[in-house]
Structure 1
Amino acid sequence: MRYLLKPLKLCFRLPLKTYLGSIASFNACTNNMEKLDHKRIVASPTGSLVQKRESHGIDVQQMSQNVGDNSTEQDSTEDVDFISITNNDPVLERKLKILFLEVEVLRQSGLRIPQNVKLCQWKELISMETRSQRRKYLAYLFGIEKKQENRKKKKDEQKQMRDSVGNTFLENTHLTYALGHNTIFLRFYDTTINHFYNNKLIQAMQFSQKIVVDCSYDSHMTSHEAQNCGKQITFMFSDNRAHDNPFDLYLCNASRESNTIKHLVKFIPTLYDCDFPVNITEKSYLDLFPKENIVYLTPHCREELREFDHDAVYIIGAMVDKKNNEPLSLAKAKREGLKMAKLPLDRYLTWGSGGSKSLTLNQVICILLDIRASGSWDKALQHVPRRKIVASDKQETPLTKIGKSDQELHYSFRNKQKHR
Structure 2
Amino acid sequence: MFVSRIFLSGLLKCKHRFKISSTRCFASKLSNVSSSSSSIIKTDEKNNNLNLNDQKQGMDNNEWLWAYLRNRKNFVDLSEEQRRRVIEIEIQTLRESGERVPEIIPDERWADLLNLPLLESRKKFYGYLFLRELGRKRRAATVALNDIRRSESAKRRAELLSDGKPPTNYPGYSSIFRHIGRHHEKLLREQILLAPARLGEMLVIDCGFEQEHVREYYLSNLVDQIQYVFADITRYHSPSFVYLCNLSHHGRLEAEFTRRASLENMCFEFTELNYLDIFPHDKLIYLSPDSNVEMTSFDHDAIYIIGGIADRTGKKPLTFGKAKRENIKHQRFPIDRYVKFGGGSGKSLTIDQVYNILMTLKHTGSWIEAFKYIPDRKVVERYSEKMDNKQRIHEKYVRRTQ
Q: Same fold (TM over 0.5)?
A: yes
Aligned partner of 2:325 in structure 1 is 335
Distance in 2 between residues matched to 1:318 and 1:109, nearest whole Å: 38
Distance in 2 between residues matched to 1:169 and 1:262, nearest whole Å: 40
Mapped pair 1:194 → 2:178:
no
CA shift, 1:242, in A, is 4.9
CA shift, 1:292, in A, is 0.9
String of CA shifts for 1:284-326, please: whole Å, max 9, x gaps. 1111111111111111112221121111111111112323412
More helix per residue: 1 or 2?
A: 2
Structure 1 residues 198 and 354: alpha-carbon distance in aligned structure 2, compared to 1, 3 A threshold: same
Secondary structure of the corresponding residue to residue 377 of structure 2: helix
CA shift, 1:95, in A, is 2.9
Mapped pair 1:139 → 2:127:
yes
Aligned partner of 2:36 in structure 1 is none
Distance in 1 between residues matched to 2:88 and 2:330, nearest whole Å: 51
Aligned partner of 1:279 in structure 2 is 269
Aligned partner of 2:46 in structure 1 is none
Distance in 2 between residues matched to 1:386 and 1:357, nearest whole Å: 12
CA shift, 1:169, in A, is 10
8 Å Cα contact 1:252-1:280 kept in structure 2: yes
String of CA shifts for 1:313-364, please: whole Å, max 9, x gaps. 1111111232341222112111221111111212233434443222111011
- Counterparts of 1:199-238 in structure 2, within 5 Å, are 199-223=191-215, 224-238=217-231
8 Å Cα contact 1:240-1:365 kept in structure 2: no
Structure 1 residues 167 and 259: alpha-carbon distance in aligned structure 2, compared to 1, 3 A threshold: closer
String of CA shifts for 1:175-213, please: whole Å, max 9, x gaps. x99221344323222322222223333443323401111
Aligned partner of 1:95 in structure 2 is 79
- What one-letter code is carried by the residue in structure 2 that aligns with 1:347? R
Distance in 2 between residues matched to 1:346 and 1:119, nearest whole Å: 44
8 Å Cα contact 2:157-2:168 kept in structure 1: no
Aligned length: 313
Distance in 1 between residues matched to 2:139 and 2:58, nearest whole Å: 39
Aligned partner of 1:52 in structure 2 is none
CA shift, 1:393, in A, is 9.9
- What one-letter code is carried by the residue in structure 1 that aligns with 2:181? Y
Distance in 2 between residues matched to 1:113 and 1:24, nearest whole Å: 28
8 Å Cα contact 1:352-1:390 kept in structure 2: yes
CA shift, 1:250, in A, is 1.0
8 Å Cα contact 2:189-2:233 kept in structure 1: no
Mapped pair 1:362 → 2:352:
yes
Mapped pair 1:181 → 2:168:
yes
Structure 1 residues 163 and 375: alpha-carbon distance in aligned structure 2, compared to 1, 3 A threshold: same
- What one-letter code is carried by the residue in structure 2 that aligns with 1:316? I
- Counterparts of 1:15-414 in structure 2, within 5 Å, are 95-111=79-95, 112-157=100-145, 160=148, 178-185=165-172, 186-223=178-215, 224-240=217-233, 242-267=235-260, 269-271=261-263, 273=264, 277-391=267-381
Aligned partner of 2:40 in structure 1 is none
- TM-score by length of structure 1 reads 0.63
Distance in 2 between residues matched to 1:392 and 1:254, nearest whole Å: 37
Structure 1 residues 183 and 117: alpha-carbon distance in aligned structure 2, compared to 1, 3 A threshold: closer
Structure 1 residues 26 and 195: alpha-carbon distance in aligned structure 2, compared to 1, 3 A threshold: farther
- What one-letter code is carried by the residue in structure 2 that aligns with 1:114? P
Distance in 1 between residues matched to 2:230 and 2:385, nearest whole Å: 36
Aligned partner of 2:70 in structure 1 is none
8 Å Cα contact 1:296-1:338 kept in structure 2: yes
Structure 1, unmatched stretches of 5+, are 1-16, 29-91, 401-420
String of CA shifts for 1:106-164, please: whole Å, max 9, x gaps. 34335354343333212222332334433432332122112211332344356557767
8 Å Cα contact 1:227-1:259 kept in structure 2: no
Structure 1 residues 336 and 297: alpha-carbon distance in aligned structure 2, compared to 1, 3 A threshold: same
Structure 1 residues 302 and 182: alpha-carbon distance in aligned structure 2, compared to 1, 3 A threshold: same
Structure 1 residues 318 and 160: alpha-carbon distance in aligned structure 2, compared to 1, 3 A threshold: same
Distance in 1 between residues matched to 2:61 and 2:182, nearest whole Å: 56
- Structure with bigger gyration radius: 2
CA shift, 1:170, in A, is 9.7
RMSD value, Cα: 3.9
Secondary structure of the corresponding residue to residue 235 of structure 1: helix
Distance in 1 between residues matched to 2:257 and 2:224, nearest whole Å: 7
- What one-letter code is carried by the residue in structure 2 that aligns with 1:380? A
Moved more, 305-314 or 197-206: 197-206
CA shift, 1:392, in A, is 6.1
Distance in 1 between residues matched to 2:235 and 2:384, nearest whole Å: 34
Distance in 2 between residues matched to 1:26 and 1:282, nearest whole Å: 56
CA shift, 1:96, in A, is 2.9
- TM-score by length of structure 2 reads 0.66
